[in-house]
Amino acid sequence: MDFQAIHDHLRARGAPGLIAADEPRAPNKKEKDPGRSGHSFVTVEPGKWIEFLTLCRDDPRLGFELLIDVTATDPKADDPNLWVNAELLSVSHKHRLSIKTLVPKERPVIASATAVYRAAQWHERECAEMFGITFEGHPDPRNMLLPDDWVGHPMRKDYEFPKEYHGISCE
């Protein structure tokens, strides 16, 4: 199914937390719209994250067996939200879906998708340490790539590099 069909099916099934579909559009000078390039994605409420993913996995026409990626983006230093993106892939129907949800920076908490897909476990660990997002219900919230005593969340736009680490200068 292409993106339109997937989105229509999601709406028909009453997918929990589905907000809207965001598709690329050409720039429109009349409406002062700079346009957006790239690929389409759906936006979802963070509170219904797990239910949405479960529907995507279990619905026979959607059939997204694989969770390809869970990642986060910090769009701007003064943006109040972080984006959490998930990529799903269906092997049986050969289609993809990109999902985005917005998580506020003052309270970056979202439910962990580990219960739905085991693949989320390591991806969420990396997200947590890089962006400071807490994934509730994650079975093993250790640092993934950073040392256990690292301070700060490096991928945030307002991250300040430390001056030194254990006596080693980081200049």
Binding site for another protein (CB under 8 A): 24, 34-39, 41, 65-69, 71, 73-76, 85, 87, 89, 91, 94-96, 98, 117-119, 121-123, 130, 139-140, 142-147, 154-155, 157
Q: Pick the closer one to another protein by CB: 35 or 47.
A: 35
The distance of closest approach from Cβ of residue 11 to another protein in the complex, given in angstroms and rounded to an integer, is: 22
Phi/psi for 20 (5° steps) reads -160, 170
The distance of closest approach from Cβ of residue 12 to another protein in the complex, given in angstroms and rounded to an integer, is: 24
The distance of closest approach from Cβ of residue 14 to another protein in the complex, given in angstroms and rounded to an integer, is: 25
* Paired tokens of 78: 């003064």
Of 147, 135, 90, the closest CA to residue 108 belongs to 135
Q: Cα(34)–Cα(37) distance, rounded to whole angstroms? A: 10
Q: Pick the closer one to another protein by CB: 34 or 80.
A: 34
Q: Pick the closer one to another protein by CB: 110 or 113.
A: 113
The distance of Cα 69 from the centroid of its chain, to the nearest Å, equals 8
The distance of closest approach from Cβ of residue 139 to another protein in the complex, given in angstroms and rounded to an integer, is: 5
Q: Pick the closer one to another protein by CB: 36 or 47.
A: 36
- Distances from the Cα of 36 to the Cα of 17, 24, 28, 65, 71, angstroms: 24, 5, 10, 29, 21
Of 42, 53, 32, 33, the closest CA to residue 11 belongs to 42
